[in-house]
């Protein structure tokens, strides 16, 4: 994991940040009051976004990263090159949860998939930007290689 400055972000990463920040505002999170925005860059060059969607049955909650991936699949794109997530965290570097890590893993053959996490303060101002990759977040990941004769 390393810390980035806004200046370190490429044009496409800045676009992803803007889109994830704005879709985060649409999060439906009346129960947790915690909004998450995500953007994935497909190998088709398109950016797909998602926000979290909660439900009175808490188990039905959709995570922002998963919604972004599903949106990519909806457009017949099945591989992501980069994931960016925007969420609030002042305490420690915060990244997509374990469930999202596994979901992302399905759609990247590359262990080194870049993951950028933009951590906001309580006023939704950028507090820290972190960069990591899938290997760091999900070592020894479970894939279909484990059970399919490919």
Angle between helices 98-106 and 64-74 (to 10 degrees): 20
Of 17-76, binders to ligand THU (CB under 6 A) are: 29, 32, 34, 36, 52, 54, 61, 63-65
First to last CA, the chain: 32
Which residue lies nearer to ligand THU by CB, 10 or 59? Answer: 59
CB of 39 to ligand THU, least distance (A): 13
54 is known as an active-site residue? no
Of 2-61, binders to Zn ion (CB under 5 A) are: none
What is the SS3 assignment for 8?
helix
CB of 57 to ligand THU, least distance (A): 13
Residue 90: phi, psi to the nearest 5? Answer: -105, -15
Which residue lies nearer to ligand THU by CB, 10 or 94? Answer: 94
Q: How many CB atoms lie within 10 A of CB 82?
A: 18
Site string for Zn ion, 96-115 (x = CB under 5 A): -x-xx---------------
d(CA 77, CA 86): 22
Which residue lies nearer to Zn ion by CB, 53 or 97? Answer: 97
Which two tokens mark 122?
Answer: 């309580």
Contact criterion met (CB below 8 Å) for 35 and 51? yes
Enumerate binding residues for ligand THU (CB under 6 A). 29, 32, 34, 36, 52, 54, 61, 63-65, 96-97, 100
């Amino acid at each position: 994991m390393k810390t980035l400055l806004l200046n370190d972000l490429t044009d496409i990463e800045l676009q992803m940040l803007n889109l994830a920040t704005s879709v985060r505002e649409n999060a439906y999170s009346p129960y947790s009051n915690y909004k998450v925005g995500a953007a994935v860059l497909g190998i088709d060059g398109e950016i797909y976004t998602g926000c979290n969607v909660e439900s009175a049955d808490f188990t039905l909650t959709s995570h922002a990263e998963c919604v972004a991936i599903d949106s990519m699949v909806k457009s017949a794109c099945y591989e992501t090159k980069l994931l960016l997530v925007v969420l609030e965290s002042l305490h420690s570097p915060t990244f997509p949860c374990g469930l999202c890590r596994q979901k992302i893993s399905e759609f990247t053959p590359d262990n080194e998939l870049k993951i950028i996490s933009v951590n906001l303060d309580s006023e939704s101002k950028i507090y820290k930007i972190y960069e990591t990759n899938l290997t760091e977040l999900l070592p020894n990941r479970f894939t279909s290689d484990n059970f399919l004769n490919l």
